[in-house]
Amino acid sequence: MTSRELVNRFLKGQPVERIGIYDHGPWSTTYQRWIKEGYPTFNPSGASQPVPVPHFEHFRYDMSPVAGWVDWTPIANI
């Protein structure tokens, strides 16, 4: 079962073979230590220093974090 199939089935309340892997991510100090120990980085255009590869890509999580554009308060204008 792919990650996509697993998450879709889980969110629909259907049986799954395991719970999808997700984590909010490490602290910035953890990233700093990991980089010193060889954690992969990349140089995005315009960046002055290399940045760490996102943890959810490196560790191949089933779910990734949602960006801040999601409105967690859809009835905020009441």
Residue 24: both structure tokens together: 């909010």
CB 39 within 8 A of CB 31: yes
In whole angstroms, give the CA distance from residue 64 to residue 78: 31
CB 53 within 8 A of CB 44: no
Q: Is residue 35 part of a domain?
A: yes
**Domain around 49:** 25-62
- Max CA pair span of the chain: 50
Q: Is residue 39 part of a domain?
A: yes
Q: Is residue 4 part of a domain?
A: no
| Tally of domains in the chain | 1
Per-residue pLDDT of the chain (78 residues; tens, 9 = 90+): 888 898 889 889 999 988 888 787 788 899 899 999 999 999 888 778 888 998 888 888 888 766 666 555 555 555
